[in-house]
Amino acid sequence: MIQLWIGLAVGVVMLAVIVVLVLRERDLRRQLAEYRELLARAAEGRSIHQDNDAERFKRSQYFARIGTWDWEVDTDRLYWSDAIYGMFGFKIGEITPSYALFCSCVHPDDRIRVREGELRCLETGENHDEEYRVVWPDGTIRWLRETGNVVRNDHDAVIKMMGVVRDITEEKASASYLQHLAHYDPLTGLPNRLVLEERLSEALDQARQTNTRVALVFVDLNGFKNINDHYGHAAGDRVLITTATRLKRILRATDTVARIGGDEFVVILQGLAPSLNLQDEARSICQKIFIELSPPISIGNDQRHIGTSLGVAVFPDHAPTMDRLLHIADLAMYEAKRSGNNQYRLGGESPARVHAQGL
């Protein structure tokens, strides 16, 4: 039930963010089309003051945080509308825009790509469209999206580029948040099932190339429902967060721990030597987990010991594929859980009991 509510909550949040982004993108596309129309008029020498275009131009810039620019390629002169100054961290009139200043503000890692895009536009006449970071004088980093095209004279020679730029920092942050929600558990910050399967697939490919083993450990907390029922969901969340923190402490840089729902965690241990005794290796792994999870957790005024059940499957000993390995480890965990508290089960073998307090 907890897993269902968490899934529903995450789904609602993701849906709301997606709707906001779609509506914002639709509005910005409309405004960008409007800008391109006005810029095309300017490039053709027509006035943008007819039909209240100038007022509409300023109003749209203010609300959409979009600015207009033009660059005289032969003189290095750069014109910025008022909205652009703030996008680069300056006050209006504080500096004199120039192409050299613009380049110095672009993040060093993006500078070459932006320059190449502008040169390509000048050489081919293709529309210019780039996303890049700018570094403000105080060190703040913002994301901008710049679009533009060339302006030619009567002899068909390129004399300038004109375009629009808008701040997309919030859109980037929203997209990053959605990406994080899609790949990580919002409570513990651990990878979710999707990332677990991606990393397990990579680990198995690496093991095949290096002739090493991969151990998969399913970890289930015993009595977790009773904690939720007796102390409330906040206490249950505290147990899950503490468990995640403790499991991460036993991992090497190449290992992974994920939360796949409720009170179930999965650990991937890769690069294990094929020469070691399988039973000894499993016992050593499970002992480390039992020891790390054995200290009590403070819940209100109580100190609670949280028991665990572990199921272990090893590649290639127990299964040659990812799906089969996951299935065997899951079955082993449930077999250990049926046999009592703080026990582990290796593959298809009989349960082996390990008491945390006796290790």
Length of the chain counted residue by residue: 359
Closest CA to 270 of 358, 194, 209: 209
Q: Which residues of 285-321 are buried (b: 16+ CB within 10 A; e: fewer)?
A: bbebbbebbbeebebeeeebebbbbbbbbbbbbbbee
Using CB atoms within 10 Å of the CB of residue 331, give its burial: 0 to 12 exposed, 13 to 18 middle, 19+ buried: middle
First to last CA, the chain: 34
| Cα dihedral 230, 236, 239, 243 sign | positive
CB 131 within 8 A of CB 148: no
205: annotated active-site residue: no
Distance of CA 163 to the CA centre of its chain: 31
- What six digits make up the tokens of 322? 């990812």
DSSP string, 309-348: EEEEEEETTT-SSHHHHHHHHHHHHHHHHHT-SSEEEETT
Choosing from 263, 280, 302, 330, the catalytic residue is 263
> DSSP class of residue 184?
B
The residues that are catalytic are: 263
